[in-house]
Amino acid sequence: MPSTLEKIRILGSNSKYDICASTASSRTNKYPELFGKSKNWIGATTSAGICHSYTPDGRCMSLFKTLFTNKCIYSCKYCFSQSCKQKLSFTPEEYARIFMKLYSMNVVEGVFITSGVCGSADDTTEEMLEAVRLLRFKYKFQGYIHFKCLPGLSQHLLKEAISLSDRISVNSEASTASFLSEIAEQKDFKNDIITRQRWLKQIRIKHNEDVLKELKDKKKEYELKYQEKMIKEYNQNGYKKFRWDGAPILNGGQTTQFVIGAAEGETDLDLLNRIDWQYKAVDMRRAYFSAFIPLEGTPLAKRNAPPLEREHRLYQSDWLLRIYHYKLKDLKDILTEEGNLPHGDPKIHFARQYFKNHSPIDPNEASYQELLRVPGIGPISAKRIINLQKQNYRFQRRIQLKSVGVVLKRADPFLKIDGQNQMTLQNFLNDDKNILFQEGIQ
Amino acid sequence: MNCNNNYKDPMEVLGRSKGHSYEELIENLPRHYEFNPTLLQQIKNIPEAILRNHGSSIAKKINRMVKEVFKEAYRAEQFTRTEINNKSVLYGVVLLKHKVIDIVLKYFHKRWPNCVICLYNEYNQKTGIINEEGIIQEVKEPLQKVIDRLSKNRSISPYFEDIEFSNEEIFEALYQSQNITERENLRFFNSMIPKNCYKLPGMRKGVEKKYNNKNRKLDDFIK
């Protein structure tokens, strides 16, 4: 009989390739009675989370992240559990207690519960849910829970998982059905993944609307106003403002994860197309990318690992879509012929492309969207500039931009202040005024 | 609000537009161990724009001091390792130079509102206590004595007595299981846990220490 320690070691290492953020929910204070009335609640959620430790690869370790079981009916070619010969499972009680022990030690902030599929998705999820129920109702844990939706899960269990969790993720693994069948042939892309993502969106919206009605009945004016404001913003802006922070349940929304470079021929364009669709259609909060690592004992052991830089570029592009609200077609312009992102920061590539046909922008006149096209200007500094424009403040020197948070060394070539633009080397060489210099070269 | 050459440009002192408000500074500056009451007088004489944006040497100093205060509190929240006994007393050891024990106690109180929390501060050798009602007190007594005194009249609520492994064993098992060796990045790791953090009581014997470059032996590099 393996000890609990042995289980943590093995099931923890089986789940280490799953990616998650630290706590991404700020629900506790707004809804203190979400899981029932009790004075004995334990735990808290903070929106940014606290990282209590970091592993030598630099990733923060803020959640108790292990598989519930590594027994699995699927044989995904990239998966670690393929090569793991020792098959183990936690019992729900064991899982809940060991987490509470870790929480009392102040080494974790919350739970990330995931699993292999043992028997059927419903059987395994039932066990996982039992562990979550124990946490919520026996141990009175009110903190952050990230629940992994297994492929093929029934709707009634998904509903329960939603009502108990802060965030749920359905792993897409690949961008299209054909790429998924290449690396995990037993999984049905449309049914196991897309349908579950759609359900998550529908159930969450339905639940939140019901809560609204309840709030109206109970005449809780403050909460009601907050909710209505959020829904209005959501309806007006579509996926651009998909954050629904006031949501009573599933406050952290749904996320997904892709394995980068496992399926041969899958390009960055395929992945960007998929995440763009997910942001628009299924109310995705964010996507995670995990560069494929060939593991001994798996069918893909001899496949080359993609460079980690690819993962980084995808995160940068995802950020441009999600936070900067770039259009996907903007990003398509900078892709290489093979459909991959080029080396270097995608935003700088995009700016170089864009400013070939456009003159440098004047921060005193530019709109918010134009400002965001300039490398070195992010949403916060763009908002500050727009606020200053409204106050009729005029930037007359570069240093003034630095004081609102603009990174000048990146932004300079694309800006024009008081009619003057920093000269790039290329422009300098092409400039007719520098005849002497050009003669000197010749 | 157009600027001309005679007008002192307010943007020049905006810095990165970060910083703290007057209220925050006045509330938190006295927490610093080098705090001098004359500093509060000086704050009142500095315009907020300059203060907020590190616009003068004194403003820089004040902001540095407040940053040190918050940083110490945050590090304590991150790296303090606690234990809980069967009388619902949660306890641990901290090393706090500044007067931030109340911030740290409140953080633990939010997580464990039904426990009495005791944190022994090695710096001033005092034990900070927060009870279930959120009332804070500091006593000049060793931690064990305080725990025994507080546990005396409390009912037994066995939390994790049946778990046979020590805290360190459990955490080490989890920590080592999460490390992806193919992605090892010690430079980043060291920037996330700077060497000063290993001086904190919770980290002195931490498993993280083994991975710090300076604690590695020659054999580890050759391997």
Domain stop point among A304, A333, A368? A304
Give me the percent of chain A exceeding a pLDDT of 70: 85
The number of domains in chain B is 3
Q: Tell me the pLDDT tens digit for each residue of A299-308.
A: 888 889 999 9
Task: Show the DSSP H helices in A15-147 as ranges.
Answer: 92-104, 121-133
Domain stop point among B95, B121, B151? B151
Give me the percent of chain B exceeding a pLDDT of 90: 48
* B162 inside domain: no
Tell me the nearest-neighbour CA distance from B37 into chain A, angstroms.
30
* A322 inside domain: no
Q: Tell me the pLDDT tens digit for each residue of A391-416.
A: 888 888 887 888 788 899 899 989 99
A377: helix, coil or strand? coil
Contact B178 A403 (CB under 8 A): no
* A345 inside domain: no
Q: Tell me the pLDDT tens digit for each residue of A287-343.
A: 999 999 998 888 888 889 999 999 999 999 999 998 888 889 989 989 999 999 999
Tell me the nearest-neighbour CA distance from B131 into chain A, angstroms.
14
Domain stop point among B76, B93, B109? B76
Contact A16 B3 (CB under 8 A): no
Look up residue A60 and give its DSSP letter.
Answer: B
Mean pLDDT lowest among A28-37, A193-202, A413-422, B1-10: B1-10
Note the pLDDT of residue A245: 46
Could you give the CA distance from residue B120 to residue A395 in angstroms, rounded to a whole number?
A: 53
In B, minimum Cα distance to A105 occurs at B82
Of A13, A54, A391, the CB nearest to B193: A54
* B31 inside domain: yes
Q: Are residues B91 and B120 in the same domain?
A: yes
User: What is the separation of C-alpha B81 from the centre of its chain, rounded to a whole number of angstroms?
Assistant: 12
Per CB-CB distance under 8 Å, the chain B contacts of A13 are: 177-178
Q: Are residues A163 and A226 in the same domain?
A: yes
* A326 inside domain: no
* B3 inside domain: no
Residue A322's CB is within 10 A of a number of other CB atoms, namely 20
* A426 inside domain: yes
Note the pLDDT of residue A179: 95
Domain that holds residue A430: 359-434
Contact A308 B183 (CB under 8 A): yes
Domain that holds residue B181: 167-218
pLDDT confidence band for A28 (50 / 70 / 90)? low
Q: Tell me the pLDDT tens digit for each residue of A217-265.
A: 766 666 667 666 666 655 554 443 444 445 667 878 899 999 999 998 8
Contact A57 B184 (CB under 8 A): yes
Contact A394 B78 (CB under 8 A): no
Q: Are residues B144 and B189 in the same domain?
A: no
* B23 inside domain: yes
Q: Are residues A288 and A371 in the same domain?
A: no
Q: Are residues B127 and B96 in the same domain?
A: yes
Note the pLDDT of residue B83: 92
Q: Are residues A173 and A53 in the same domain?
A: yes
The number of domains in chain A is 2
Inter-residue contact A415 to A422 (CB < 8 Å): yes
Mean pLDDT lowest among A344-348, A379-383, B133-137: A379-383
* B156 inside domain: no
In A, minimum Cα distance to B10 occurs at A400
Q: Are residues A197 and A292 in the same domain?
A: yes
Q: Are residues A159 and A243 in the same domain?
A: yes
Contact A17 B180 (CB under 8 A): yes
* A309 inside domain: no
Per CB-CB distance under 8 Å, the chain B contacts of A61 are: 174-175, 178
Q: Are residues B67 and B86 in the same domain?
A: no
Q: Tell me the pLDDT tens digit for each residue of B159-190.
A: 666 667 888 899 999 999 998 888 888 889 99
A to B CB pairs, distance under 8 Å: 160
Per CB-CB distance under 8 Å, the chain B contacts of A308 are: 183
Q: Are residues A300 and A384 in the same domain?
A: no
Note the pLDDT of residue A220: 67
* A242 inside domain: yes
Parallel/antiparallel/unpaired status of strands A420-421 and A416-417 = antiparallel
Q: Are residues B147 and B92 in the same domain?
A: yes
Residue A156 pLDDT exceeds 90: yes
Q: Tell me the pLDDT tens digit for each residue of A344-372.
A: 999 999 999 898 888 899 999 999 989 99
At residue B83, what is the residue type?
E
Q: Are residues A269 and A391 in the same domain?
A: no
Domain stop point among B53, B76, B99? B76
Contact A404 B17 (CB under 8 A): yes
Q: Tell me the pLDDT tens digit for each residue of B61-70.
A: 988 999 999 9
Tell me the nearest-neighbour CA distance from B189 into chain A, angstroms.
4
User: What distance, in Å, lies between the first and last C-alpha atoms of chain A?
Assistant: 82
